[in-house]
Structure formats: structure tokens, C-alpha cells
């Protein structure tokens, strides 16, 4: 019997739940709510077994001598050409021995946020999917998405993380649509304005947006986030869904 034994080595994957608020198709005979921007998730379709044809999160094996954060950044840049992530943070590590039918694979999940308006180039097997209507998912990636969504929605209440979903400048109505898409429930513009201005998360730019629509209308003032790095602003605040309105 050998004097020294070595513990088994398992593959370790770095995966990312990449989210972006993207414009919905213009409605024809639908309500305004259906025309609002929606939160989307970046997924790629598997070409090989296991789970061939199902959708999965972008990422892959950790390289030799590579840090997890560097690994997921490299893989996002190489595989889906996303070179501008507004925010990236680790969410959780999955170690269930049965999560991969081919053998034990540990997976660390990241949350990545892409600002609205960017259009990263994607390969043919990769696409954005609405967060509220996921396709058939591989492995345990559907529950990983729920964990990342929970992290994002919690942090929208007590941090300035909205900066990573918004463009550089925006109107309050546009920012409201971003928060509604990310939170999954309605929120009033006046309430959002009061909360974000009181915490000094956003500030007016002194400029106005160009009028939209045939009627033109009064130009709206534009705002920007005061910081582009994650900051805790109120550890006790909660943006709860209204009790009388439905999820969106």
C-alpha cells in the first residue's frame, strides 16, 4: 500500500449568467406593457452530448494556473465576443456529484451584466433569450439562472448595480423600464426617482433627450449614474413588488 495517496482531481467549470435589458419588438395590437424592454439571458445551444440540442450558460473548464475570474472573462471574450461587461461577480459554486452525467464537475457561477444598447457579436449557436421564458436547459443551469436573478434583484435594492444595466445617459422613464425588466415587477417613476436621487445614485446631466414619436412632445431631462463601480447605498432598502399589481 502506498505511503502517500493523492486526492482525486475534478474538472472545475467557470460559467456566467450574462444579462442584458433588451428592447422588445414593436407591438401591433398588444398592450404597452408587452412593448417594454425585457431582461434577456445569453445562452448557447449544445452540439454534443450530454444534453445535445439544449441550451446552456457560456463558460468552460478552468485553465491550468488560471484564476476563476480571469477564466470566465477570457471565455466570454473568446467564445461570445463580449468585451464590455458592466459588472461581473461570483454568485455560487455547485458541487453536487450528480450534476453532470459524464462525471463529477464542479461549477462556479458568475453574474455578468451588459449595459443596454450594446450589441455584442455572437456566433450562430448563441442567442439572447427572455429571462421569463427560458428554453430547455442543460445540466442544472436553469437553477443557476434563478440564483443569479435573485442576486441581481436583491442588489438593486441596496446598491447602485443598475449602472451596469443602463446606458451612459437615460431619461427617468427609460431607467424605470430597466428596473422593471430586472426586478420583474412594476415600479413608479416618481418612487424610483425619489429613492435614487436621495441616495445620490443618479444625477441630472443638464441635458434633454430628443423628442420621440410623431407628436414630438416635451423633451425629457437625462440622467447618469454617479459611479460606475459597485457601491452599497442602503443595506436595509427593499424594492418590493406592489401587492396589487402582477409580475411583468
* Those residues with Cβ within 8 angstroms of residue 148's Cβ, 6 or more apart along the chain or in another chain: 17, 19, 91, 109, 111
User: Which CATH class for the 11-157 domain?
Assistant: alpha beta
pLDDT of residue 171: 96
For 102-130, the pLDDT digits (tens) are: 999 999 999 999 999 999 889 999 999 99
* Alpha carbon distance 37, 34 (integer Å): 8
DSSP for 185-203? B---HHHHHHHHHHTTSEE
pLDDT of residue 246: 47
Helix axes 189-198, 172-183, angle to 10 degrees: 100
Task: List, for the chain, all residue ranges whose pLDDT scores fall below the cut of 70.
Answer: 1-4, 25-34, 212-217, 243-248
DSSP for 11-63? EEEEEEEEEEEEPPPPPSSS-SGGGS-EEEEEEEE--SSSSTT-EE-SEEEPP
- Give the start-to-end residue ranges of the domains of the chain: 11-157, 161-225
* Alpha carbon distance 137, 11 (integer Å): 21
User: 20 forms bridges with which residues in the sheet?
Assistant: 40
Give the rounded percent of residues in the chain with a pLDDT score beyond 90.
Answer: 74
pTM of the model: 0.90
* Alpha carbon distance 66, 175 (integer Å): 37
User: 19 forms bridges with which residues in the sheet?
Assistant: 41, 113
pLDDT of residue 230: 96
Whole-angstrom distance between the N-terminal and C-terminal Cα of the chain?
A: 63
* Alpha carbon distance 18, 118 (integer Å): 13
Per-position b or e across 152-168, b if 16+ CB within 10 A of its CB: bbebbbbbbbbbbbbee
| Fold annotation for 161-225 | Arc Repressor Mutant, subunit A (1.10.10)
Grid cell 436621495 is found at 198
**Length of the chain in terms of residues written:** 248
DSSP for 213-229? STT--PPPEEEEES-SS
Amino acid at each position: 500500500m502506498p505511503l502517500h495517496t493523492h486526492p482525486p482531481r475534478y474538472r472545475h467549470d467557470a460559467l456566467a449568467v450574462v444579462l442584458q435589458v433588451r428592447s422588445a419588438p414593436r407591438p401591433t395590437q398588444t398592450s404597452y406593457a408587452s412593448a417594454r424592454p425585457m431582461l434577456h439571458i445569453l445562452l448557447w445551444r449544445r452540439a454534443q452530448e450530454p444534453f445535445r440540442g439544449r441550451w446552456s450558460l457560456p463558460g468552460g473548464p478552468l485553465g491550468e494556473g488560471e484564476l476563476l475570474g480571469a477564466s470566465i472573462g477570457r471565455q466570454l471574450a473568446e467564445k461570445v465576443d463580449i468585451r464590455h461587461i458592466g459588472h461581473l461577480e461570483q454568485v455560487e459554486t455547485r458541487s453536487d456529484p450528480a450534476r453532470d452525467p459524464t462525471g463529477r464537475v464542479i461549477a462556479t457561477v458568475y453574474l455578468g451584466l451588459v449595459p443596454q444598447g450594446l450589441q455584442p457579436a455572437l456566433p450562430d449557436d448563441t442567442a439572447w433569450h427572455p429571462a421569463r421564458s427560458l428554453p430547455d436547459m442543460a445540466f442544472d443551469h436553469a437553477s443557476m439562472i434563478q440564483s443569479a436573478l435573485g442576486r441581481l434583484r436583491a442588489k438593486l435594492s441596496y446598491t447602485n448595480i443598475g449602472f451596469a444595466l443602463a446606458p451612459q445617459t437615460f431619461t427617468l422613464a427609460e431607467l424605470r423600464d430597466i428596473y422593471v425588466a430586472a426586478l420583474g415587477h412594476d415600479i413608479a417613476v416618481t418612487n424610483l426617482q425619489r429613492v435614487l436621487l436621495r441616495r445620490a445614485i443618479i444625477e441630472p446631466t443638464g441635458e434633454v433627450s430628443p423628442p420621440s414619436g410623431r407628436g414630438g412632445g416635451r423633451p425629457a431631462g437625462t440622467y447618469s449614474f454617479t459611479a460606475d463601480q459597485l457601491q452599497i447605498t442602503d443595506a436595509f432598502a427593499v424594492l418590493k413588488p406592489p401587492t396589487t399589481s402582477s409580475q411583468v
